[in-house]
Amino acid sequence: MPRVLVVGSINMDLIVRCARVPEEGETVHGDSFATAGGGKGANQAVAASRLGARTSLVARVGEDEFGPKLLSNLEQDGVNTEAVISDPKAPSGVALILLEHGGHNRIVVMNGANARLGEPDVRAGQALVADSDVVLFQLEIPIPVIAEVAAAARESGVPSILDAGPATPTAVEAGLPALIDIISPNETEAEILTGIAVRDLGDAARAASRFHAMGARDVVLKLGAQGAYWSGPGGEIHVAGFPIEAVDTTAAGDAFTACLGVGIASGANMPAAIHRANAAGALACLKLGAQPSMPTCEEVDAFLRDHAA
C-alpha cells in the first residue's frame, strides 16, 4: 500500500450556489447553501486515502464548532489525524465559495489555524517523512513549514509534490521550487509564479522552463479541460484531459494532485500517473463540494474503462 504524507490546510467550506456572482455593490439571490469539509491539505488527504493510500495529515484546526466535525470527516475516510493539532488561539480555517451555474467558482479563504503551523508541526512532519513514499504540500500554510519538511524529505530520498495554490510570489522568493521535486500549478498559478501567461502548450513549455531555471526538477502544469503538461528530466509530454459537463470545479486540482502523488508513491511513470490524475480531477468536477467529490480508486478505474481510447 502506498504511503502518503500531506502537510497542509483544513477548512470548513461554506458554499452558496448562484446563477452568477454579484458585481461590485450588487446583491444576487443564491439557489442553495451547503457546508463541506475542505482545505487543500485535507482535500488531498481524503483523496489519497480514497485512492488506496495509507495517509497521514499534519495540520491544525481551531477549538471551535468546526474543528471536531472536520476531524471526524477525515477519520471517517481513514486519514491518520494524530498529527493534527487543535489550536485554542485561532478559529478553524473557512472558505467562502460562490459557485456559479456551470461549475465556475469564486473563493475567499480565511486561514485561521492554518496560519499558525510552526515548529511542532515541522517536527511532526519530519518524523513522518521516513515512513512515507511521497509528501504533498500546498500554499495555504506558512512557507517556512513547507521548506523545512521538504528539506527533510529531500534528505530522506522521499519525493515531494507542491500543489502551487494559492500562488504567491513569496514561494519563489523563498526558493521552494528548488526544494520540491515536483511543482504542479494550474495556469493562473503558473502565471503568478513565473510571469508567463499560460494560454496554450507553447506557453506551458515556456513556464515550465522558467520553473526549471528556479531549480524545479519536474513541472506538471494543470490545464483544466485540456489535461496537463509535464516537463522533467525524463522528457516532456501533453496528457489530454477528459470531456465532461462540470457541476463544481472546486478541489478538482486537489483530486489531481492526490492521484498524482499516489501514482508516484506506487511507482508509476509520470505519463501514466498524470493520465490517472486527469481522470481523478475530472471525476471531482461531477459532484458538489470539495471532500465529498474526491473519487475512490474504484471510481477512477471505472471512469478510465469508460473513456478508454
Residues with catalytic roles: 254
Residue 97 backbone zone (phi > 0: left; psi -120 to 50: alpha; other: beta): beta
Q: How far apart are CA 140 and CA 59, in angstroms?
A: 11
First vs last C-alpha separation in the chain:
29
Q: How far apart are CA 65 and CA 112, in angstroms?
A: 13
Within a 10 A sphere around the Cβ of 296, how many other Cβ atoms? 16
Helix (H, G, I), strand (E, B) or coil at 203: helix
Q: Which long-range contacts (CB under 8 A, 24 or more apart) does 76-81 make?
A: 77/45, 77/46, 77/49, 77/50, 77/291, 78/49, 79/42, 79/45, 79/46, 79/49, 79/55, 80/54, 80/55, 80/56, 81/57
